[in-house]
């Protein structure tokens, strides 16, 4: 005796699509509302530039730290 035949296959497919879509939606939501780590490096360079502009560090220290931030 067959348990559902094609009907069970379609139901499995729809459930897989439903749960896959739900998981993708959750991942998308988490990424939208969490800070991006790549921006942290840019922010560090901005702070360094601000400190140099205010005269808190000299040109040599600015260049050394900038090279260190760029890797």
12-29 pLDDT tens trace: 999 999 999 999 999 999
Please report which confidence band the pLDDT of residue 9 belongs to, taking 50, 70 and 90 as the band edges. Answer: confident
pLDDT score, position 1: 45
Sorted by sequence, the CB contacts under 8 Å of residue 45 that are 6+ apart come out as: 66, 69
What value does the mean pLDDT of the chain take?
86
Q: What is the pTM of this model?
A: 0.44
Q: What is the mean pLDDT of residues 52-63?
A: 95
Whether 57 contacts 29, CB under 8 Å? no
Residue with the bigger pLDDT between 64 and 10: it is: 64
Domain map of the chain by residue range?
A: 1-34, 36-71
């Amino acid at each position: 005796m067959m348990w559902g035949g094609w009907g069970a296959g379609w139901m499995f497919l729809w459930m897989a699509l439903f749960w896959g879509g739900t998981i993708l939606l959750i991942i998308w939501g988490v990424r939208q509302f969490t800070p991006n780590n790549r921006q942290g490096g840019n922010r560090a360079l901005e702070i360094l530039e601000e400190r140099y502009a205010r005269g808190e560090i000299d040109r040599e220290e600015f260049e050394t730290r900038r090279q260190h931030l760029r890797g």
